[in-house]
Structure 1
Amino acid sequence: MSCTVDNSLTELAKLECHFTWDMNKRDTNLTDLLTRLEQHRDLKLGQEAGTAHTHNSLAYVKYLLGSHEDALTNLKKSVELTKDGYGDNCDEKLIVTYGNFAWVHYHMKHYAECQSYLEKLKKIKQKNPPVSTSALHPQVLGEKAWALFKFSRKYYRRAQECFKKALELEPEDGEWNAGYAIVLYRTETKCASPENSSATNQLRRAIETNPDNDELKLLLALKLAEFKLFDEAEDLVERALEMSPDSPHVNRYVGKYMRTYGSLDRSISVLKRALDVSPNSAFIHHQLALCYKQIIREQPESQRFRHLSISHFEKAITLKSDFIIAMAQLAILYSEDEQIDRAEEVFQTALFTAKEKPEGVQALYLYYGEFQQYRKRNQHLAIKYYKDCLKMKPGTRDGKKSAKNLRKIANKRLSYNTNDTMGLGILKFIKQVTGEKQFTACEHFL
């Protein structure tokens, strides 16, 4: 038996499935990931194939959480959905699922069942060999891409490469085109024009192959709005709303678009409607919190909207415990509400979380620097976090704001003493990081 087990482990290591794709549980929050996947499953987002992928990812998360029987249940559901979508002749579509089955049975010490799935995979490979010994079936590449994309932001670049390779093999596949567009949308930095935007171009391509996918239309609208192409963007928003008025995924992006480029009242209305369908969406709670926060900026004395904003921020971080940007925004609202100790506590939680997750960290450093400068009156800590923010990405909005704040501190110090060591050091630091011209102390006051 020992020899058989060892042989099985050797074969298992060669499989293409969630267990061999180097997805480490330290790179994600399993509880939050489970919630997101369950929402995706319950809302039946996508076609049978997409939901089948979701059950595969759910199976892996359940395994990581120690629920092996639940993992098997999800894998069985994945097979059922795949056969519903493609018929019984769908062996290639089940390569990943069968691989996951083999691994789960192995960990449960069900060695006969494990071997049975290994045999099934051998037959599939013999019947449908890849184009070369090193190549993967496009179905495997595509599902690997989705799995990486859903598991952790740290894996977005790997997901992007997998989608790209899948499309090289099957350029007309709607699912891979959509996935590639979404991951480009999430990773692309600011572009000078829509022609230079890979995300914009791929979103157009994805809509051609997925004409009924209204979420893609909203993502394209948000990209076009960045380039001030509002006529086309608003047309896409209206078409998506008309076709999918009750979709929470569509409504949340409509709400985001309206908050940023249109009407706050309409944004709140749309987001509330989305929340009725998906009450446990951290994204929707966050968008509503931002809407109410924007009203506060226009009506500073409005305690009602301040409390509404705070309550939605609180709900968002309860639902998504590593939502760093929401934590930082909530802490700032606490500080504006004179709840300084509570704000510090939330900031510390965010800073601790940031050690494991980089998403939103640059904005966190900027917010915490401003909190230290204006609320705690701790200039040294403010300078430290402004510098940390600037070093991350000098060209971003947050990086530029930190540089501006640092310059103000330096100029104020130099206005009292043109030889102030700290002030001169700050200006030298800004020059080193950004490459900007370093002014002399006298030039700062011209």
Structure 2
Amino acid sequence: MIQTSKMSMDRERVLRTKLHQLECHFTWALIKEDIDLPDLLNRLEEQLKLDYGKKEALGRGYCALAYVKFLQGFQEEALNNLMTSVKLYIECHEEEFHKILIVTYGNLAWVNYHMKNYTECESYLQKLQTIDEKHSTEASSVPEVLGEKGWTFLKFSHKYYERAKECFKKGLELEPEDSECNTGYAIALFRTEHGGFTYTNSPTIKQLRRAIEINPDDDVLKVLLAMRLVIYKRCDEAEILVENALERSPDHPHVMRYVGKFFRSRGCVDRSIPLLNKALEKSPNSSFIHHQLALCYKIKKIQLLQEGNHHTKTSQVQQIRDQIIYHLEMAATHAPCFITAMSDLALHYGERREIPRAEELFQMTFQTAKEKNDNLYLVSFYYAEFQLHCKRCEALAIEHYMQCLKLCPGSPEGKKSCNSLKKIAEKRTRENTQDGEAYAILGFLHKEKGENLQAIVCYEKALSYVENDEYLRILGDLRMSMQ
């Protein structure tokens, strides 16, 4: 009995060592806490419908779906999805030992191991060994594997976008003409490139053009290129690309949603809203589309408020606010970790004078952001707005604007926080030239910009009007840094 138990443990240990050497979802450091599983599940299921008839794409989709089912604790479903993936790949390539099966066989080995089906696990490890021997290539250097790995990183979490970019880049070094890697690399660059480039040297624009050249029928890529061209004031070409994509693919849900986003970013919400609603009919569980619609209605709300005559427009503003809240609620329902949507929703509850409900949602969102270690600066910004405009609590607004600015100074929210703090401080110094806290706020802003000399002047002025140990400590640190 003891001998049998030892043999079983040895077998398990050997298997686990081999499993950790595989290239598959189980070895790609996909952390459950980084992933919004309900949202990912919705998006994968939607993609499977979109890829209907494309066996290779469906094979990849079922392989990814299997891993999500495993994370949710549904091992039998995971196994069934992986078997579907194998069937699709073999139908597509008519070969049991094609390189494209590396990831699926790896996942099958892992799932069977977790289900204690050790004989089955060993059989898939043997299949992988046969593929290795047949192709004489390390799995980590197989373009098909790098492509699947890159798409996994793109789909599973924004935290993995940089890793996705590296996978596609490596795949293109091996096969420069590979369609999937060119498309994936273009999308990864689109999602990770923020400022610092011009029209002529933008890697995103260059790669999008390259991907469209290889995939001329991919209308989603054309809309993404249009969205990037607008940033560099190339509006005429952008408009042509968008109209062409819409004409060619009027019912493609991804084309509709991105064209909707394009028009929304251009301020054309009356063109954006019908498109997004049409896309929503095809993808009713899309948190992305619901969020885009909420942003459209926010623009309409702002436009209405800027027109004046607030008293006569109160009911219209309320109707639009209700629309915003509905779409934000739906976005948060379908993506329970969608921190931007949750924070904005809490703020709009505050605008509707549902203060306790807003406070409760803000606290939940703070907790989610801390647990996920993600977008805490966003929650801080929205909470500051809530405190300033809904609760009229300037002290807490200042505290959270500062928190946002410290966490992410280069973000749009960080810049807005900086502007709000400056306005608050300048208003207070105009009303009271001896307001020590106002000068400390200005000192904080200079310090965050690295303007230490100006920060010292402001903190010295603050301390001339108020006694504050924290200001004194900051001033001491600033003086030390200048020595």
Q: Which moved more, 1:377-386 or 1:97-106?
A: 377-386
Are the equivalent residues in 2 in contact too, given 1:103–1:114 (CA < 8 A)?
Answer: yes
Deviations 1:212-261 (A, max 9, x none): 11111111111111112111111111111111111111100111111121
Q: Flag the 1:366–1:279 CA change in 2: closer, same or farther, 3 A.
A: same
* 2:33 is the alignment partner of 1:36: no
CA distance in 2, matches of 1:240, 1:430: 45
CA distance in 1, matches of 2:292, 2:37: 23
Are the equivalent residues in 2 in contact too, given 1:383–1:406 (CA < 8 A)?
Answer: yes
Deviation of 1:306 after TM superposition, in Å, equals 2.1
* 2:96 is the alignment partner of 1:81: no
Are the equivalent residues in 1 in contact too, given 2:250–2:256 (CA < 8 A)?
Answer: yes
Are the equivalent residues in 2 in contact too, given 1:218–1:250 (CA < 8 A)?
Answer: yes
Deviation of 1:81 after TM superposition, in Å, equals 2.2
CA distance in 2, matches of 1:332, 1:424: 29
2:441 aligned partner = 426
Are the equivalent residues in 2 in contact too, given 1:290–1:309 (CA < 8 A)?
Answer: yes
CA distance in 2, matches of 1:337, 1:317: 18
Deviation of 1:358 after TM superposition, in Å, equals 5.4
CA distance in 2, matches of 1:373, 1:211: 50
2:310 aligned partner = none
CA distance in 1, matches of 2:91, 2:221: 25
Q: Which runs of 5+ in 1 are unaligned?
A: none
1:338 aligned partner = 353
Deviation of 1:322 after TM superposition, in Å, equals 1.1
Q: What are the residue-to-residue correspondences of 1:207-222 with 2, within 5 Å?
A: 207-222=212-227
Matched to 2:149, the amino acid is K
Deviation of 1:416 after TM superposition, in Å, equals 4.3
Deviation of 1:127 after TM superposition, in Å, equals 0.8
Deviations 1:329-381 (A, max 9, x none): 22232222222222222222222221134555433322211211222122221
Q: Secondary structure at the match of 2:23?
A: coil
* 2:406 is the alignment partner of 1:397: no
Q: Which moved more, 1:432-441 or 1:196-205?
A: 432-441
Matched to 1:167, the amino acid is L
Identity %: 51
2:454 aligned partner = 438
Q: Secondary structure at the match of 2:323?
A: helix
CA distance in 2, matches of 1:90, 1:113: 17
Deviations 1:301-351 (A, max 9, x none): 313222222211111111111111112222232222222222222222222
The correspondence for 1:170, drawn from 149, 152, 175, is 175
Q: Which moved more, 1:214-223 or 1:341-350?
A: 341-350
Q: What are the residue-to-residue correspondences of 1:256-271 with 2, within 5 Å?
A: 256-261=261-266, 263-271=268-276
Q: Flag the 1:327–1:377 CA change in 2: closer, same or farther, 3 A.
A: same
CA distance in 2, matches of 1:299, 1:262: 14
Deviation of 1:110 after TM superposition, in Å, equals 1.2
Q: Flag the 1:356–1:197 CA change in 2: closer, same or farther, 3 A.
A: farther
2:402 aligned partner = 387
2:71 aligned partner = 64
Matched to 2:382, the amino acid is Y
Q: What are the residue-to-residue correspondences of 1:234-245 with 2, within 5 Å?
A: 234-245=239-250
2:377 aligned partner = 362
2:124 aligned partner = 117
Q: Secondary structure at the match of 1:196?
A: coil
CA distance in 2, matches of 1:52, 1:378: 54
Q: What are the residue-to-residue correspondences of 1:186-205 with 2, within 5 Å?
A: 186-205=191-210
Q: Flag the 1:230–1:360 CA change in 2: closer, same or farther, 3 A.
A: farther
Deviations 1:185-219 (A, max 9, x none): 11111244222322222111111121111111111
2:386 aligned partner = 371
CA distance in 1, matches of 2:30, 2:403: 29
1:128 aligned partner = 135
2:467 aligned partner = none
* 2:152 is the alignment partner of 1:152: no
Are the equivalent residues in 2 in contact too, given 1:138–1:166 (CA < 8 A)?
Answer: yes
CA distance in 2, matches of 1:45, 1:425: 60
Deviation of 1:262 after TM superposition, in Å, equals 5.2
* 2:21 is the alignment partner of 1:14: yes
1:286 aligned partner = 291
State which structure, 1 or 2, has the greater radius of gyration over its C-alpha atoms.
2
Are the equivalent residues in 1 in contact too, given 2:353–2:390 (CA < 8 A)?
Answer: no
Deviation of 1:415 after TM superposition, in Å, equals 3.0
Q: Flag the 1:47–1:225 CA change in 2: closer, same or farther, 3 A.
A: farther
CA distance in 1, matches of 2:236, 2:261: 17
Are the equivalent residues in 1 in contact too, given 2:139–2:145 (CA < 8 A)?
Answer: no
Matched to 1:310, the amino acid is I
Q: Flag the 1:405–1:228 CA change in 2: closer, same or farther, 3 A.
A: same
Count of aligned residue pairs for this structure pair:
441
2:256 aligned partner = 251
Q: Which moved more, 1:313-322 or 1:44-53?
A: 44-53
CA distance in 2, matches of 1:201, 1:438: 42
RMSD over equivalenced CA pairs, Å:
2.2
2:337 aligned partner = 322
Are the equivalent residues in 2 in contact too, given 1:82–1:90 (CA < 8 A)?
Answer: no
Q: Which moved more, 1:215-224 or 1:82-91?
A: 82-91
Are the equivalent residues in 1 in contact too, given 2:108–2:124 (CA < 8 A)?
Answer: yes
Are the equivalent residues in 1 in contact too, given 2:105–2:128 (CA < 8 A)?
Answer: yes
Deviation of 1:90 after TM superposition, in Å, equals 5.9
Matched to 2:392, the amino acid is R
The correspondence for 1:139, drawn from 144, 149, 153, is 144
